Amino acid sequence: MKQLFYFILLVAGISSVHSCKDLTDEEGNPLIDLNQNSGFNGPRALFREVTDSDTLAEYRYNGLLLSNVITEKNSITNVMWSGDKISQITFNGHLDLDNDGTIDDDSIVYTQLFTYGNLGRLTIISENRVFYKRTPPVPPSTTPGPYLVDKRIKSIYNLTYSSTTGKFAGITMKSGEDVTGVPYVDQKYSKTAYTYFGDNVSKAEVSIGAINAGVEGPVTEKYGYEFLNYDTQISPFTLLPFAYKVSRMISEEAGDVEAFILSPNSPKRISIADLMMPIPTPVIFSTAYRYDAQTYMTQGFSVNYMYKPL
């Protein structure tokens, strides 16, 4: 659930090194990724994403299936399955909704329901999201008051796939505020298109606008994310289910900065541009990766990836 967090850190010139703490899983078993000469050869799972100071995400499993993801400020994502498919994801915690690189104090709860088409592909995600704001302290107390509901938002995401390649091609979203006693109407839309180079996502282009009386208005925001110079090794995100990765990307508006997690490999350069500018000026980030003996990526963009045996 980090989105722009990694890259804002890079812009600020903050670099991270290997974390040497908590090198065991929740059962006390040693993790297997930090030693590049690891002889581990069996099935593995992605366990943690860490910097030198924080655990950004910890993945927990029920057998072979992803069951929970713990992120910053003790936020938790619960994953429910129906057979071999994710049927529901719930989130309770905090996100960086204003994209300033800091996880917000305000709290969010959302539930996403997943619908699959005839070919077994994920086609629709419907979401109900509740925003909570903490009330200010009442003098002379300096302790903030309780969290109260600020607003409720309904969203529906339609996923499309290429008719020629079968690859995930894009997402169309419509959303609106759900107000008690007021008929619901869509108020906002976004459209995302993905471009590929081989099997890797090379570009994500996102257009955002308002909906008035059921009619989509002109695009008011447009962003381009490019992923360049892919390696040929194994991305840690290949170990996570597709539906969860999509859920992670749509959790925040700028989530497509992480569209590379859909790819089997890892990009060494990422470009971000505001396409509404007359002459877009991309901001470019670069990294060098580290890998273990089985060619799984273990470090990149100042984040370390830890694995555990299954």
How confident is the model over 22-62, as pLDDT tens digits?
A: 555 555 555 555 444 455 677 899 999 999 888 999 999 99
Pairing of strands 303-309, 267-274: unpaired
Strand partners, 32: none
**CB burial readout 231-259, b (16+ within 10 A) else e:** bebbbbbbbbbbbbbbbbbbbbbbbbbbb
- DSSP secondary structure code for residue 262 in this structure: G
What's the pLDDT at 135?
87
The residue segments making up the domain with residue 9 are 5-309
Six token digits for residue 89? 């994801």
Q: Which residues contact 293 (CB under 8 A, 6 or more apart)?
A: 36, 37, 38, 39, 40
What's the pLDDT at 25?
53
Q: Which helix (H) or strand (E) holds 6?
A: helix 5-11
Give me the sign of the Cα torsion angle 172, 68, 264, 63.
negative
Provide the domain count of the chain: 1
- Are 127 and 156 in contact by the 8 Å Cβ rule? The answer is yes
Dist. CA 121–CA 216, nearest whole Å: 27
What's the pLDDT at 32?
56
What's the pLDDT at 28?
54
Q: What's the angle, vertex CA 254, arms to CA 59 and CA 273, rounded to 5?
A: 130
Strand partners, 119: none
How far CA 120 is from CA of 123, 124, 139, 279, in Å, comes to 9, 12, 57, 42
- DSSP secondary structure code for residue 16 in this structure: -
Residue 145 pLDDT grade (very low, low, confident, very high; cuts 50, 70, 90): confident
Dist. CA 256–CA 236, nearest whole Å: 18
Six token digits for residue 68? 């929970």
State pLDDT tens for residues 246-272: 999 999 888 999 999 999 999 999 999
Six token digits for residue 29? 């078993």
How many contiguous H segments (helices) and E segments (strands) does the chain have?
Answer: 2, 17
- DSSP secondary structure code for residue 24 in this structure: B
How far CA 92 is from CA of 5, 114, 126, 258, in Å, comes to 19, 18, 17, 21
How far CA 307 is from CA of 23, 25, 151, 246, 261, in Å, comes to 10, 9, 38, 21, 16
Q: Which residue has the higher pLDDT, 110 or 41?
A: 110
* Mean pLDDT of the chain, nearest integer: 88
Q: Which residues contact 27 (CB under 8 A, 6 or more apart)?
A: none
State pLDDT tens for residues 147-164: 899 999 999 999 999 999
For residue 136, give the 3-state DSSP assignment.
Answer: coil
Tokens 């989509």 identify what position? 216
